[in-house]
């Protein structure tokens, strides 16, 4: 029988500038195991794995491999021990102008001391991809690869070092459902080959689908560690938060005003949407439920004028209306917070103040000169109002967590006092604590009398937050219900094309 690899971290502590990021944390990973590591933003999970992968050398505590103490004070130390990290920002670890084969073998090529023929490099890269049951053209440049393919390339690179332990940091955050399922298949294949996998995520349903062990951190301390099957999803979330799961949703608002903000009859687009009709009232959160491919994103973009669409009849603010362009939508005090916020909703490599000012039109300008001082004061006000965790308006958005990036994506619309706000999968890539903040923020917008369209495949969120819910299936609205009188099972039934018995 093959010996089982065992990696232990005992009493790990580390502090930054007097702030304790980890306090006496224990963690154990064995080969043939997929170990879930979860917790809210700031819980310490990424810091713990950064210690394990050699990013920090100022920690205290012990690390043991197969019962023997080892020293990990640099990424090189970790790799030599067979410990590899695939970070969430996969592009940071890849060279876009090089080929797939060169990126897979990059560490070996960079070490030097050995001559490689191009044929050998491609052959070795293909062999490593074959271990993952992945087929890619190894001659293709990295900048022509999808995010899912880039992850596979980094996994193959890890295998090139005789990987024993693999750390995946939020691996599904940028992937759709099909890509995530393919990643799971690859991870299970690695597990079968004896590799121990750390799977960092806040998506409880994914953890339950693929992991066998679970460790929960909160505020830099160990809260729970053991078999995952012994805990329900609700119990896991409650351990992450430190309070009951029901508390993540705001108290129900009073019935919304009977005053229509937006009305659409007979909306069609050129691809999927057919005969969509809906009404949004002041002070209402209207849920749009649907599974992947149902048309949620297409509907959000059509309403905002970001895709070709046509309506039989439309009304906005009591006046005739039809979606024509995003520019016209903004002029009509509409806002869109898109699903792919990093691609379409924010400038990831710009500052918080720049992102919050981008929709401000001319309100910060005087005599064609941009008022930096005004923009700065505005950004400080929004940061405080929305509880954005940042070092200040100057911080680059890439350095913020997913939840705080989403708050900035919302905050940029507050300057022009948007009345109709369209949210497309607003909690995608956001941890459970940040979700609570976003729910409070969206609820607060509705209490101000604004109309909110909340499109999501997370049915629990729709039931917990919305007033009414429309269900999309195959580009059509097939049901409309009062959110107070519906459950997740009913939403799932309608969203798969079924009807109650």
Find the angle CA(150)-CA(45)-CA(348) to the nearest 5 degrees: 50
Instruction: Give the whole-angstrom CA distance, residue 243 versus residue 441.
Output: 20
Q: What is the pLDDT of residue 361?
A: 56
Q: 454: alpha, beta or left, given left = phi > 0 and alpha = psi -120 to 50?
A: beta
Structural contact between residues 420 and 412, judged by C-beta atoms closer than 8 angstroms: no
Q: How far is CA 273 from CA 228, 279, 302, 314, 421, in A?
A: 41, 16, 9, 16, 20
Q: What is the pLDDT of residue 436?
A: 83
How do the domains of the chain map onto residue ranges? 6-246, 259-333+418-501, 347-417
Query: CATH says 6-246 is which class?
Result: alpha beta
Q: What is the pLDDT of residue 7?
A: 96
Structural contact between residues 164 and 196, judged by C-beta atoms closer than 8 angstroms: yes
- Where b means 16+ CB within 10 Å and e means fewer, 162-182 reads ebbbbbbbbbbbbbeeebbeb
Q: What is the pLDDT of residue 112?
A: 63
The domain 259-333+418-501 having CATH identifier 3.40.50.300: the answer here is yes
Cβ neighbours for 199, distance < 8 A, ≥ 6 positions apart: 34, 35, 36, 37, 168, 171, 187, 207, 210, 211
SS3 496: coil
Over the chain (501 residues), the average pLDDT of each successive run of 10 is 76 86 95 90 85 93 95 92 85 88 87 72 91 89 88 88 89 76 88 93 83 92 92 80 70 80 93 93 94 87 92 93 92 86 73 77 53 76 79 81 78 81 84 79 91 90 93 92 88 78 57
Q: What is the pLDDT of residue 243?
A: 64
Helix-strand-coil split of the chain, %, nearest 5 = 35, 25, 35
Burial of residue 327 (CB within 10 Å: 0-12, 13-18, 19+) is exposed
Instruction: Give the whole-angstrom CA distance, residue 183 versus residue 190.
Output: 11
Structural contact between residues 450 and 310, judged by C-beta atoms closer than 8 angstroms: no
Q: Give the bridge partners for 35, in sequence order.
A: 198, 213
Structural contact between residues 442 and 426, judged by C-beta atoms closer than 8 angstroms: yes
Structural contact between residues 117 and 166, judged by C-beta atoms closer than 8 angstroms: no
Q: What is the pLDDT of residue 246?
A: 61
- The answer to whether domain 6-246 and domain 259-333+418-501 are alike in fold is yes
Instruction: Give the whole-angstrom CA distance, residue 86 versus residue 183.
Output: 13
Q: What is the pLDDT of residue 114?
A: 63
Q: What is the pLDDT of residue 376?
A: 83
- β-pairing, 6-16 with 60-65? antiparallel
Find the angle CA(46)-CA(199)-CA(72) to the nearest 5 degrees: 50
Q: How far is CA 49 from CA 43, 116, 295, 350, in A?
A: 12, 33, 38, 27
Q: What is the pLDDT of residue 2?
A: 44
């Amino acid at each position: 029988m093959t010996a089982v690899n065992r990696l232990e971290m005992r009493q790990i502590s580390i502090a930054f500038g007097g702030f304790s990021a980890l306090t006496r944390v224990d963690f154990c990973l064995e080969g043939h195991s997929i170990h879930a590591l979860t917790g809210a933003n700031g819980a310490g999970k990424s810091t713990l794995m950064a210690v394990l992968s050699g990013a920090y050398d100022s920690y205290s505590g012990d690390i043991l491999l197969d019962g023997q103490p080892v020293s990990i004070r640099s990424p090189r130390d970790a790799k030599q021990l067979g410990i590899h990290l695939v970070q969430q920002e996969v592009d940071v670890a890849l060279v876009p102008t090089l080929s797939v084969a060169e990126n897979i073998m990059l560490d070996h090529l960079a070490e030097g001391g050995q001559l490689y023929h191009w044929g050998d490099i491609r052959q070795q890269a293909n062999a490593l991809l074959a271990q993952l049951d992945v087929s890619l053209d190894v001659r293709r440049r990295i900048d022509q690869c999808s995010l899912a393919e880039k992850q596979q390339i980094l996994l193959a690179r890890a295998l090139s070092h005789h990987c024993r332990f693999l750390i995946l940091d939020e691996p599904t955050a940028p992937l759709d459902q099909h890509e995530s399922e393919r990643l799971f298949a690859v991870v299970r294949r690695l597990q079968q080959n004896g590799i121990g996998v750390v799977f960092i995520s806040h998506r409880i349903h994914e953890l339950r689908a693929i992991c066998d062990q679970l460790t929960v951190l909160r505020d830099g301390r160990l809260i729970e560690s053991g078999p995952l099957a012994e805990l329900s999803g609700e119990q896991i979330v409650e351990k992450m938060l430190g309070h009951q799961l029901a508390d993540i949703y705001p108290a129900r608002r009073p019935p919304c005003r009977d005053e229509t903000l937006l009305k659409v009859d007979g909306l069609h687009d050129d691809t999927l949407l057919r005969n969509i009709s809906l009404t949004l009232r002041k002070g209402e959160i209207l849920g749009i439920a649907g599974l992947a491919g149902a048309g949620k994103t297409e509907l959000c973009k059509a309403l905002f004028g970001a895709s070709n669409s046509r309506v039989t009849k439309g009304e906005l603010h009591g006046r005739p209306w039809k979606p024509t362009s995003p520019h016209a939508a903004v002029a009509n005090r509409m806002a869109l917070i898109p699903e792919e916020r990093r691609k379409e909703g924010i400038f990831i490599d710009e500052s918080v103040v720049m992102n919050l000012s981008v929709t401000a039109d001319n309100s910060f300008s005087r005599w064609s000169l941009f008022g930096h001082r005004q923009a700065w004061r505005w950004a400080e006000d929004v940061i405080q109002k929305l509880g954005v965790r940042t070092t200040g308006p100057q911080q680059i958005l890439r350095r913020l967590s997913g939840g705080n990036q989403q708050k900035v994506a919302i905050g940029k619309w507050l300057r022009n006092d948007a009345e109709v706000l369209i949210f497309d999968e607003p909690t995608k890539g956001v941890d459970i604590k940040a979700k609570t903040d976003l729910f409070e923020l969206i609820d607060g917008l509705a209490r101000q009398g604004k109309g909110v369209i909340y499109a999501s495949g997370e049915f629990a969120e729709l039931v917990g937050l919305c007033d009414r819910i429309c269900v999309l299936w195959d580009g059509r609205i097939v049901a409309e219900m009062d959110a107070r009188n519906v459950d997740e099972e009913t939403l799932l039934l309608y969203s798969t094309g079924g009807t109650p018995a």
